[in-house]
Structure 1
Amino acid sequence: MHLRLIVPAERTPTVLTTLEQDPRVTNVVLMTGAGVRPSGDLVLCDVAREAVTDVLDGLRQAGLYSDGGVTLSAIEAAPSVNAHATEEAAPGSPDDAVVWDAVLDQADTQVAGSWSYYAFLTIAVMLASIAVITDSAILVVGAMVVGPEFGAVVALALGIALRRARLSRRALALLVQGFLFAIGVTLLCALAARAVGWVHPSSVSAARPLTGFIWRPDKWSAVVAVIAGCAGVLSQTAGRSNALVGVFISVTTVPAAGDLALSLAVLDSRQILGSLAQLLLNLTGMTVAGVLTLLVQRRLWRRTAEAD
């Protein structure tokens, strides 16, 4: 990974010495006085992913988090000989390394509660409710992909695993508020559709061979939620966000919310309870699996570092 540091001038010699003496760091560059806000020297370097957490801990102790600047970015390719030597000097595999500072920073961003989060979640839930009416598996998949809720689930699991109470509270609040808002808006739309005759109780209670699973949670729902939670957390911590697409289309949180809103509109008590149970089962299963995955990752990586 590439690090861009702004270092107070009086601390530059110490930081440079630390970076230069670490075989897991390469391509160290110094630009004296280049920092304007905050002021200081600009230091650039490339660090083996497995060593990033160690290097960042040292920079934090040097005061760069409070008085300087630290920016991380991923490197797509580094074909030089010195880069390969740097990677070989670090223990373990890059795919197994977790850059906790980056993961936490991303989690803080994901629980900010932007208007786009509420908009995407509402659109996803509305698509899911239409999928219920039309019994369309394609619309169910579309609703799953559009839904942005998994980021908040990961943040909740991360807060619990790392004992970050504030992060956990923000993530849980965003999940609850987001789904309440999305279900509420979809319910109002469903009531309007029922008033003009577009939606009938039979639209929900009729046999739905393609979407009936949404409101009927079973043991496999729990298994899928746990597996998806593990896969989603691994994709986030390993920096492989493309794997999240598979998670999005495997878990029925958004479809269950859409079915819940529609069932409330037609007062189908059986499906209200079923879709609510499905929603809670999936959110709980993903969170628990995420916490356990993070704890295992942390323990395994500590053992790798100690073995080195």
Structure 2
Amino acid sequence: MLSVRVSVARPLSAQVRESLAQDPTVCGLIVVPGAALDGHGDVILFEMTRENANNIMRSLRHLGVPEEGGIVVSEPLVVVSDAADRAEKVAPGHPADGVLWAQLASHAEEDARPSVSFFVFLLLATLIAGVGRILDQPILIIGAMVVGPEFAPLAAISYALVRRRRGIVAPALGTLLGGFAACAAIAWAVWALLYGLGVITFAQATTGTATEFIVAPDAWSFVIAILAGIAGVLSLTTAKSSALVGVFISITTVPAVGTIGLTLAVGAWEEARGSAIQLLVNLCGLLIAGVATLYVQLLTGRWRGLRAARLRRRPRQRSSARVRMLSIEEDARQPRRARGARRDG
């Protein structure tokens, strides 16, 4: 379940309450009159199922709530409520499979913008990967994979392509490629200095069977990138963050960037080319998998949305049928009353 707080202007409050009250996947509806917009609006609190959250958010936007107020969604740790249990049973699908697109949009917009922390983590991961290649230590390569933050802008690009948010693609792509270029350049400067001082040798930078896979991409590199991309997107959309660690240590993006800087510094052009191909293969695989996974989730969500819309119409149909039945019974009573009145007359 998700907890929602809506601040709405008073003229829209009745429409919002009616829309929420008719939805069987909504429970715990509370209205606090005059508590929002400096006394000119109401605060509406309620819980909604994650499976049907997108439909409810769409309805609130259609009513104009964001323009006249605001919507805040949070996820409670524990919900103990029979009404919530009934709402979950009615909602189509499973809570773990529900994708909250508004949340993804917020994360994508944030991750698309470059930040100091992003570049610092990426630079540290790049340098760690370079040391791992020099020492031929896979554990350092794994550490660099975990530290690297590059999956965030990759996920933002995937989301933007699926949802056709062109305003996110360019900044996210700039953050990703700009970060790789800047970190590779800094790594090149560091390793070139150490190479010139004799701290590292050409052989150290170009040999090592345990980390040879970085400079030798093959078909399996693309397969692993596809699988990791699917797992990464699913971990983000289903709030299974523990799976992200496995994703990070499956992709060879940061190790490739670190090795590019290292091999260029010592003049190992062939290995630099292999690292660049490895980076390109991984990026393509991750993006293809990310876009495909999100698109499948989008289609699945629309199908669940149609089922939820039918559920919303059922109470209305029953209530309208009951009104019609009462009207028919009332019409049937009127002639009897008229005949009784004539007898009394």
- The normalised TM-score by structure 2 is 0.86
Query: 1:25 Cα shift?
Result: 0.5
Q: CA RMSD in A?
A: 1.5
- 1:276 maps to 276
Measured in 2, the distance between the counterparts of 1:39 and 1:108 equals 31
* Closer/same/farther in 2, CA of residues 214 and 32 from structure 1, 3 Å limit: same
- 1:113 maps to 114
1:49 match: secondary structure: coil
Measured in 1, the distance between the counterparts of 2:257 and 2:232 equals 20
Query: 1:118 Cα shift?
Result: 0.6
Identity %: 36
Query: 1:39 Cα shift?
Result: 6.2
1:33 match: secondary structure: strand
Query: 1:303 Cα shift?
Result: 2.6
Measured in 2, the distance between the counterparts of 1:13 and 1:305 equals 24
- 1:285 maps to 285
Query: 1:181 Cα shift?
Result: 1.1
- 1:63 maps to 64
Larger Rg: 2
Please show how residues 3-152 of structure 1 align to structure 2 within 5 Å: 3-36=4-37, 40-152=41-153
Are 2:192 and 2:265, in contact at CA under 8 Å, matched by a contact in 1?
yes
Measured in 1, the distance between the counterparts of 2:306 and 2:33 equals 36
Number of residue-to-residue matches in the alignment: 307
2:52 match: secondary structure: helix
1:50 match: secondary structure: coil
1:125 match: secondary structure: helix
1:84 match: secondary structure: helix
Are 1:5 and 1:69, in contact at CA under 8 Å, matched by a contact in 2?
yes
Are 1:97 and 1:238, in contact at CA under 8 Å, matched by a contact in 2?
yes
Are 2:37 and 2:69, in contact at CA under 8 Å, matched by a contact in 1?
no
Measured in 2, the distance between the counterparts of 1:38 and 1:224 equals 56
Are 1:161 and 1:295, in contact at CA under 8 Å, matched by a contact in 2?
yes
Please show how residues 165-176 of structure 1 align to structure 2 within 5 Å: 165-176=166-177
Query: 1:93 Cα shift?
Result: 1.0
In the alignment, structure 2 segments of 5+ residues that lack a partner are 309-345
Are 1:38 and 1:68, in contact at CA under 8 Å, matched by a contact in 2?
no
2:36 match: secondary structure: strand
Query: 1:301 Cα shift?
Result: 2.5
Measured in 1, the distance between the counterparts of 2:15 and 2:163 equals 30
- 2:295 maps to 295
Are 1:38 and 1:67, in contact at CA under 8 Å, matched by a contact in 2?
no
